[in-house]
């Protein structure tokens, strides 16, 4: 595959993804008044999580598209005398928002399964705060086109713990309660990390591994669609996964 073909695949995918994720957030927000109080307790952090995801990815993939349009992935803008690369600013924005995404997903688990914040859930929230601190260190070199090692791994370890920890909580309780939609959400989180881990570990040596971000992104979209279908259906329709009556 030529570089030009790969560029156009990425640009088209990025554009379709951003339109889709923002449309999903808008649909969730517009239909919030159709939910009963119980479902809104779950849906509210879902909307907030996907708003953060859309916001961060607008910077991440949106800035990549802008850099392509300018003809150079290394394109930058001068801010207060500092040259900031669009790619680096986008990577930084999504690093913060995806951390918030998983902190909110802990709340989604709590509300969906009517749980309290146990020690493990509090640990996952603490991992998010710890990651925020790690991302402030200059060794992250956010202006680099390729994330530097070992700091790329250092700052992603808390995120891996967060994501897989949330997936464990959701899958554990979804299996017990036969909650099919949230069982799928747990599975999709695991799939997203199976795609993301090779990128974290080896993209510096094999740049083509960056293409795994496409199925990772699709997994996030699928999480949003499953959450929407299970929470935002009209009251006169049986929720996805609800047990049959009689």
Q: Note the pLDDT tens digit of each residue in 1-52.
A: 677 787 888 899 999 999 999 999 999 999 988 888 888 999 999 999 999 9
pLDDT tops 50 at residue 243:
no
Mean pLDDT over each residue of the chain, to the nearest integer? 88
Residue 7: CATH number of its domain: 1.20.1070.10
Structure tokens at 191: 């799939």
Is residue 40 a part of any domain in this protein? yes
239 falls within a domain? no
Residue 207 domain flag: yes
Q: Please write the tens of the pLDDT for every residue from 89-147.
A: 888 999 999 999 999 999 999 999 999 999 999 999 999 999 999 999 999 888 887 78
CA 115 to chain centre: 23
Tens-digit pLDDT profile for residues 168-208 = 999 999 999 999 999 999 999 999 999 999 988 888 788 87
Q: Is residue 63 part of a domain?
A: yes
Segments forming the whole domain that contains residue 215:
3-231
Residue 243 inside a domain? The answer is no
Q: Environment class of residue 12 by beta-carbon count within 10 Å: exposed (0-12), middle (13-18) or buried (19+)?
A: exposed
Q: What are phi and psi of 83, to 5 degrees?
A: -85, 115
- Per DSSP, helices labelled H in the chain are 3-30, 37-69, 86-112, 119-134, 151-176, 180-202, 213-231
Q: What is the pLDDT of residue 236?
A: 37
Question: Is residue 80 in some structural domain?
Answer: yes
**Looking at the chain, how many residues does it have?**
246
Burial of residue 42 (CB within 10 Å: 0-12, 13-18, 19+) is buried
Rounded to two decimals, the pTM is 0.88
How many domains, in total, are found in the chain? 1
Give CA–CA dist 50/104, Å, rounded. Answer: 9
Residue 132 covered by a domain? yes
């Amino acid at each position: 595959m030529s570089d030009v073909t790969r560029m156009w695949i990425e640009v088209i995918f990025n554009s379709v993804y951003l339109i889709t994720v923002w449309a999903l957030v808008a649909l969730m927000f517009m239909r919030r008044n159709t939910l009963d109080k119980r479902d809104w307790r779950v849906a509210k952090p879902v909307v907030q999580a996907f708003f953060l995801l859309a916001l961060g990815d607008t910077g991440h993939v949106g800035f990549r598209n802008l850099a392509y349009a300018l003809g150079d992935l290394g394109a930058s803008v001068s801010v207060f005398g500092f040259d900031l690369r669009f790619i680096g600013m986008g990577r930084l924005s999504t690093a913060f928002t995806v951390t918030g995404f998983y902190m909110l997903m802990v709340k989604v688990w709590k509300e969906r399964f009517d749980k309290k914040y146990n020690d493990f859930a509090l640990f996952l929230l603490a991992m998010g705060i710890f990651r925020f601190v790690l991302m402030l260190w200059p060794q992250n070199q956010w202006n680099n086109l390729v994330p530097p090692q070992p700091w790329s791994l250092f700052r992603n370890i808390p995120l891996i713990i967060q994501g897989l920890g949330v997936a464990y909580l959701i899958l554990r309780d979804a299996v017990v309660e036969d909650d099919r939609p949230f069982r799928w959400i747990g599975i999709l989180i695991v799939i997203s990390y199976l795609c993301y881990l090779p990128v974290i570990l080896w993209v510096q040596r094999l740049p083509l591994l960056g293409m795994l971000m496409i199925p990772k992104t699709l997994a996030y979209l699928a999480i949003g669609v499953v959450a929407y279908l299970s929470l935002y259906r009209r009251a006169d329709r049986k929720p996805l996964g609800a047990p049959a009556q009689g």
